[in-house]
Structure formats: structure tokens, C-alpha cells
Structure 1
Amino acid sequence: MRLYTRRSACTTLAALAFAVPATLSACGGSREPVNLAEQNSQEAPSIDFFSPMEKIDPDALNTAREAGGMTIDMAEEQTGISVVYNTYTAENYQDKTYDDVCLERARASQDDLYLLNPDVTVALGREGLLADLSGLPAAANLREVVRAANTIDGRLVAIPQEVVAYGLFLNMDIFKECQLAVPNTPEEFIACCKALREAGYEAPVGANRWWLETFVFAQAYAEMYNGGDVEAEVAALNAGQTRYSDYLRPGFEFLKELIDEGYVDAEGASTSEAFEGPGEGQAFLDGECPIVMAYWGAANTETAYGKPPFAMEVVGFPSDLGQMPVLSVTGYGVLEQARHRDEALEVLNVIVSDEALELYSEINRVISPSENVKVECIDALKPLNALVEEGKFVLASNAGMDVEQWGNVCLIVRDLLGGASVEACMEALDKLQEDALSAQ
């Protein structure tokens, strides 16, 4: 286990955490997480902030971390409140996840401000542990999709610094060499994988143990979020009138076909960490794997795919409605019973202000949660950005759904990678829904 406590905002904040919700792990031994930051009553006001490291090396160069730190610097300067960082990472995929540690710390009120992944936002929000942020002045500028994704029982419980869009990263040199068009539908994607296999690419789709569920969400919720009555459909799911398994089945059947045909290396994906070690990330950069899935920010940073040695495009996932970006929207939350709740809210209001978001978005070139902040993206991201700006996307994290999607579907997809049948996966989804209904 590695637990870091820092004070210097500009060099230490791992602000990319909500953009990489599953690359972050923590140690699972008998040692309980501890807060190394001791408040000194004689010092200036301060708050405790818990966030993950997106890399094993806490000092690795990452522009997103630097940009996040700059917004914290801005908040410290404007409020006079110091921010004490507690960060957590681990050595391998078998260790306890950052989410597990975050839940433990939040339930024990160890920190004031948290950087939360979607499943943790839902869990803590439903437990009533997160403060309502809707009264913050900065909250008035949020995109509607951000509100929808982070509102629980009428309470806005988290605000991000970016809207995280997931897409397919394509090696366009290989696509051009194989005379392949970018696939739009599941059928076209399967045909594309078959052609790439015939061209010598044994496993055309590089995958890790976290993000294959993006294929499922794109197919499951394309119609709901693009022309459907979202509020009515979510209400029907929460009432048990419709089943999540009916929505998600086509995506699981699609993934099963990719696995059975060997287009996805199930064994490798089961243990691969995103961007870590000799996994799909390195294979993609080496030109051995034509397709990977990742979040928007990975195209901008050198720690991921920021400077590939080939032409790259980031596009949406295949669905019956065409290419579909998958959005995961989460972010910062403040504990309702935090020791320094008011100070944390004051700091957060600066971090998510238009001024700070403008700085953050300009440096990271990401989609801002504020309706007022627009940033030009790099060429590789323009296909994905055009879809998002058109309003064509699905949400992978919707706090209004009684069954949390991002984390639960990820775990069930791992069962599929391990050999579970589609029917067994559907039974697991139905069980989650039954449990949610019983808890009402």
C-alpha cells in the first residue's frame, strides 16, 4: 500500500481520478487506511482532500494532475483555506480498489472533500453522506447531463471538472492499410474484427479488466438517451416494470461473440491494468493491436496515447443508432458531516467555477461540465467531440437509477471474461434489481 499526504497543490493532485475510474487500486491487507494529515488548531484553516493517484509513481508527469493542482492553488488563494492531500495507490490488480478505500474513509468521516468515481458517488449519495451542492453559485452553470448523472433524490451530490467521454481509439494507419471504414454498428464492428484477423492481427481489440462495459452501455441505452423518455424509462426500471437485463442483454451477447471469436483476449483482459505494464496500451502503441477503448483525456497525455507513432482517431462505440460515445459523469463530493464542511464547500465552489474550469479545460483540452466553457480539442478527438456536441451519447452513470450501473456492470462483464454465460450474467443483473426493489 502507498498512502501519500501532501500540501503542495501544483505538483501533487491526481485530478484525473474520475476520468480513469478503474485504473486505481489500493492494498487489501489487514492494515486499515489511516489519515496521515494532522490538523493543527494553531494553523490557518485547512481541509482534508482524498484523491487517488492514476499512476504507481506519484511524481509521474501528468498534465491533468498539474491542471487540477492549479485549480486547487486558485481556491487556496481566493479562500485562504489550505488543502491537505491524502492520496492512495497500489502495486497490482489484486489489491483493494481505490473505491473500497474511499468508501471506508468517507463512512468514517476521515476527510472533508473527495474525488469520487460513479459507483461511490451513488453509494454515498444514497446513504445520505454527501452534502447537497445545488446551492453553490458554480452549480448554476452546469450542463444538464451533469445534473442528471449526479442528482439523487433531488440532491446534487457531486460536480466534476470534466465530462468524461469514452470512445474507441483506432490506429488509422492500420485501417487505411486494410482498406477498412470506421465501423458504426455492431455488425460492422464484427466484420471489421474479422478483416483485421485475416490481415494478421490475432486479437484486434485490446482490452483491460475495466472498460469493456462501454460496449454494453452503448448498445443498451442508445435509444433511451437518444429520443427516448429518459425519466419515464428510469422510473419504470426503478419500479421493476422493466428489467435492466432486457436493456443490457444485446451488449453482453455482442461481447460474448467478441470473446468466443478471439477478437478480445479474455485471459489477458481479465488481469490487464489500463496503461500499466505490457498490456493492451503498449500493444496499441506498438502497432500490434488496432483498436483499444479509453477515455477522452488519454488522447491528450503522454502517460497514455497522447503521442502515438501513427494517425489516430477516437470514435464512438457501435450501436444500432451508429457510433455512440459513453459518458461517465462524476467528480468532487463533500461529506455532509465533515469536520470542515463549510470550508470544503467554499473551496469546491472555486474549483468548479467557470474561471477554474476554463483553466483546467484549456490545459487538458477536455469537455467542461459548465455550459459556458468551450475548448478546441485535438484532431484525433474531433469525431468523438462532434457526437457529444450533437447530443448523441449514452450515460454509463446515472444516479437516478436504483441499480448503480458503472461499477456493477463492470464486475459482471468480468464474470463473462472468466467464462460465465450470458444467461448467468443476466441472472446477476436481475438479482441486483430485485435487491434494489426489496430495499425500497
Structure 2
Amino acid sequence: MKRFFGARARRVAALCAVALAACALTACAAGDEPARNLAAQTGDDATATVTFFSPMEKANPDAENTARTASDLTIAMAEEQLGVTLAYRTYTAEDYQDKTYDEVCLDRVRADQDDLYLMNPDAMVALGKEGRLADLSGLSCVQNLREVVKVANTVDGKLVGIPQEVVAYGLFVNKDIFDECKLELPNTPEEFLECCRVLKEKGYDTPLGANRWWLETFVFAQAYADMYNGGDVAAEVAALNAGEARYSDYMRPGFEFLKQLMDAGYINAENALVSEAFEGAGEGVDFMAGNTPMVMAYWGAANTDTAYGNPSFNMQVIGFPSAKGQMPVVSMTGYSVAAGAENLQGALDVMDVILSDEALKVYAETNRVISPSMNVQVDCVEPLRPLSEKVEADTYVLATNAGMDVEQWGNVCLVVRDLLGGASVDECMAKLDALQDAAAA
């Protein structure tokens, strides 16, 4: 699943959305501060209603909708099988003005306003720790989930969210440019830096197009490559939560790497700080026109008729550089049920239908994405094969792990923005330490 943010980004999403009609994908909430860490109705003619809060637009749940998204198709399955109606309650920036989707979710769950939610990781962690989300571990669909999905969405021993897709971020490379410059695709940070050096010498002023959302993918790839690929994840997370290990020690190499890219002019930090995803110098049009050799984005951006679909050149999507080679960065946004939901059982029943293998197959085949079910496999477009092979071999790092006391996806994004704005690496590490200390307190 993907990340929802502001109005300008939703205009971009209209061009590249492959799952949720009014969702856009990014790295953290659109705010400037880091995140702190059925019963059926009675009566023979009554139809049970489950209320669903999400960024999706569907004004009338009874209306015929021939252009439903993949998510809507699975919800239609639930409506038919269970005899319920999903009543959509929709977030729009116009309705909530300066409040982000996350802030509105927090308010609505705490006030028990809805039954079912589509939720970002940081909001899920906060609400899970407050005990406001139902434990989903008893659902039938859970037995088919990939282990990574359960790890990423478990808070205090409870499975509080399940996605309809696993989102893998990767490095989108213009392979034709690399071939012309006699460059191999980079595996390690050192190889990546050398590629950037050669590309700049060959006249590519900005070898890596960047925006203000996704540069943290480079940090996660380097910080957690060992943990999620051979390490004892449970023990290392426990040490972080206890303060025996520091997030700053894990992440310093990644921040130092980004600083090198900035200082050498391989990314345009000033432009990246104010650029939305798929926009700005070095991204979007520049990448598709062959003027910028590399950008970072998520899996669905490579599909046909999306942001980087059908390029005129040979595009390859690979993992980010790490000591263990090319490393996909995985995040996920989940469906959650409010523990205080008026129609709790109905919402759980809906979850079991829309997250069944049957529904997930419909979703994955419609959107050509990675399914959270280990039983659902979908062929991907050719440029995604390198990234797909890594994920299917369980080679990746998690950027959303609900078991960590410090929310990762949003907080690290914001600290990376500090770096782009001129903060030193030491200042960024101090901010990570402060977040960890606050979580412990």
C-alpha cells in the first residue's frame, strides 16, 4: 500500500495511481514536525453497514461504478458475499484544511467514528500502542500472509494492520545511458559513487534525480541490510527499544553517504528539498527524456500508463546500494479496524474477504503488484524483474516495522530533509537520538 499526502501530490497521483483513486505515494506525512513517537442491523430488510474511512473517492456506495479501482473490486466482493454495504467516508484536503490524513485518522479512531480504516504506518503504530486497533491475528487470511507483512504490522504482540500490496522501492536506471558510459549497475555505495562520478564527467549534471520524500530509502538500505538479511531481527529491535542500541549508529553511514552525494553535486539538494515526487529538476520529464540517468520510486511507478511506464529507453529497476548488494526497501500501509468500532465484527468479516487469496489475486493482477499473500504470484513488467527477483528471494529491508518504538518511515524522511536543508550529519544523528530517548521515556 502507499502513502497519502497533500493536494499537489494528489494531482501527481492522478497520473500514476495504480491502486487507490485518490492516493499518492511518498515517504512521510505532509507536515514539518516529526511524528511523536457488524453487529448486523436487525430486521428482515436491514442491510448491515460498515463505515470505511480512506482517501478514496466514492460519493455514493450504492452507485454503479464501472471504473472501480482494484481496491473497489475487492470491496465489491465483500459486499456481495456478506450482504453488507461499505459506506465510504473520504478525506479531502478541502474538508480538513491544514490537517494531514494521518492527523485526521488519529482523531477519528480515538473518537470511534468509523469501523474500517486505510492507515499509514506511523498512525498505525501510535494507535496500536494506545490499544485502539483490533487484533487481526485471528482472521482466516492471516495464515497465508508473508512473514514480512506480519512483522511490519505487529504492535505489542498484536497484528493491527494488513495491506493489499507490499510496496517495494527501487532505483530506476536508464540502462542505455549506463551502457553508453560503459558502467555496470551499482551494488555497493562505493560503486554507486563511482557511477555518479563518471556520469557527471560525461555531462549529466544531476546523475540522481531526487525529491523531498524518498531519499531515506538510501539510508534504510544501508542501515538495515544486515539486520533483515541474516541478523536476529527480534533481538536487534528489542535492543533498540530498550536503548541498548542506537538508531543513529545504524543510520549514520546512510546519512554520510547522502552528504557525499550532496557535496559532490550528484543530487541537487536545494531542489530536492522543495520538489514533490515525480516533479522537479532531475525527475519526471527529465528522467523520461533521458536527461537524468537515475531516480528513485516505488514498484507501481514502472507499470504501464504510470509515471515511468513505457519509457523510450531500456529501464531497469534495481535495489539501493548496500554492503550486501542491491537492496529493495519495502514499506506497507494497512487496513485496520478500530477496537471501539460500532460494527466491529462486520468490519473484521470484511477484512477476511478483501484480504483472502481470492481477493488479493484480483487486486494483484489488476495492479500488477507484490501481494502480501505467499500464495499469490503475479508476473511483473520487464523493467521490474531485477527488483522482483530480490523480493521473491526475501532480500530486502523494512522501512516500516511497527515493532520499533520509533516510527521509521516518517521520522527518517523528516530528518533527511534537515540534511537537505543544511544540517550536519551529527545534528541529524542527535535528532534521531532525541526521538529514541523520547520513545523510551
TM (norm. structure 1) is 0.86
1:146 matched residue in structure 2: 149
The residue aligned with 1:242 is 245
Aligned residue number for residue 323 of structure 1 = 326
Match of 1:425 in 2: 428
SS of 1:202's partner is coil
Gaps of 5+ in 1: 3-11, 27-38, 55-62
Task: Name whichever of 157-166 and 107-116 sits farther off.
Answer: 107-116
Deviation at 1:17, TM superposition (A): 7.8
Classify 1:123/1:165 alpha carbon distance in 2 versus 1 (closer, same or farther; 3 Å). same
Paired letter, 1:415:
D
Partner of 2:374: 371
> Does residue 20 of structure 2 align to residue 15 of structure 1?
yes
1:87 aligns with 2:90: yes
Partner of 1:344: 347
- When residues 17 and 247 of structure 1 are mapped into structure 2, their CA distance, relative to the original with a 3 A threshold, is farther
Structure 1 residues 368, 13: CA separation in 2 closer, same or farther (over 3 Å shift)?
Answer: closer
Q: CA deviation at 1:90?
A: 4.2
Alignment check: 8 A CA contact 2:166 2:369 kept: yes
SS at match of 1:221: helix
CA displacement at 1:325 relative to structure 2: 0.6
Contact 2:221 2:397 in 1 (8 A): yes
- 1:341–1:98 CA distance, 2 compared to 1 (3 A): same
Q: Which has the higher relative contact order, 1 or 2, with Cα contacts under 8 A spaced 6 or more apart?
A: 2
Which structure 2 residues correspond to residues 90-129 of structure 1 after superposition, within 5 A? 90=93, 96-129=99-132
Q: Please identify, of 419-428 and 342-351, the stretch whose mean Cα deviation from structure 2 is larger.
A: 342-351
For residue 385 of structure 2, the aligned residue among 382, 405, 430 is: 382
**Are residues 1:412 and 2:431 paired?**
no
CA shift, 1:148, in A, is 0.6
1:328/1:395 contact within 8 Å kept: yes
- In structure 2, give the amino acid aligned to 1:350: V
Counterparts of 1:291 and 1:98, CA distance in 2:
30
Residues in 1 aligned to 2:120 and 2:305: alpha-carbon distance in whole angstroms:
23
Write the distance in 2 (CA, Å) between the matches of 1:188 and 1:89.
43
SS of structure 1 residue aligned to 2:51: strand
Q: Distance in 2 between matches of 1:390 and 1:413?
A: 29
| Distance in 2, Cα, partners of 1:100 & 1:379 | 38
How far off is 1:293 after superposition? 0.8
The answer for unaligned runs of 5 or more in structure 2 is 1-5, 8-16, 32-40, 58-65
Within 5 Å, which residues of 2 pair with 1:294-333?
A: 294-333=297-336
Aligned residues: 406
C-alpha distance in structure 2 between counterparts of 1:156 and 1:126, whole Å: 11
In the TM superposition, residue 65 of structure 1 has moved relative to its aligned partner by 6.8
Q: Provide the residue aligned with 1:167 in structure 2.
A: 170
| Partner of residue 395, structure 2 | 392
Amino acid at match of 1:382: R
- Cα distance between partner residues in 2 of 1:95 and 1:281: 27
Q: Alpha-carbon deviation of 1:44?
A: 2.4
Change (3 A) 1:86 1:141: same
Pairwise CA distance, 1:288 = 1.8
1:193 aligns with 2:201: no
Instruction: Please give the per-residue CA displacement for 1:409-429, whole angstroms capped at 9, x wherever unaligned.
Output: 011011111111000000001
Deviation sequence 1:165-186 (CA, Å, 0-9, x none)? 1110111121122221100000
Query: Matched residue of 2:243: which SS?
Result: coil
Deviation of 1:23 after TM superposition, in Å, equals: 7.9
Matched position secondary structure for 1:84: strand
Cα distance in 2 for residues equivalent to 1:425 and 1:117: 24
Cα deviation for residue 15 of structure 1 reads 2.9
Query: Which letter maps to 2:159?
Result: L
Quickly say closer, same or farther: Cα 1:340–1:276, change in 2 above 3 A: farther
Instruction: Give the equivalent residue in structure 2 for 1:228.
Output: 231
Identity score, percent: 66
Give every structure 1 segment of 4 or more consecutive aligned residues whose post-TM-superposition deviation is greater than 6 Å.
Answer: 16-19
* Cα RMSD, aligned residues only: 2.6
Of residues 46, 51, 54, the one that matches 1:51 is 54
Task: Provide the rounded CA distance (Å) in 2 between the counterparts of 1:74 and 1:207.
Answer: 39
Change (3 A) 1:305 1:269: same
TM-score normalized by the length of structure 2: 0.86
1:379-412 C-alpha deviation (Å, 9 max, x unpaired): 1111011111111111111111111111110110
SS of residue matched to 2:91: strand
Q: How far apart are the structure 2 equivalents of 1:415 and 1:367?
A: 32
- Out of 246-255 and 81-90, give the one that drifted further: 81-90
Is the Cα contact below 8 Å between 1:88 and 1:98 reproduced in 2?
A: yes
Contact 2:52 2:115 in 1 (8 A): yes
SS at match of 1:280: coil
Structure 1 residue 64, shift from structure 2 partner: 11
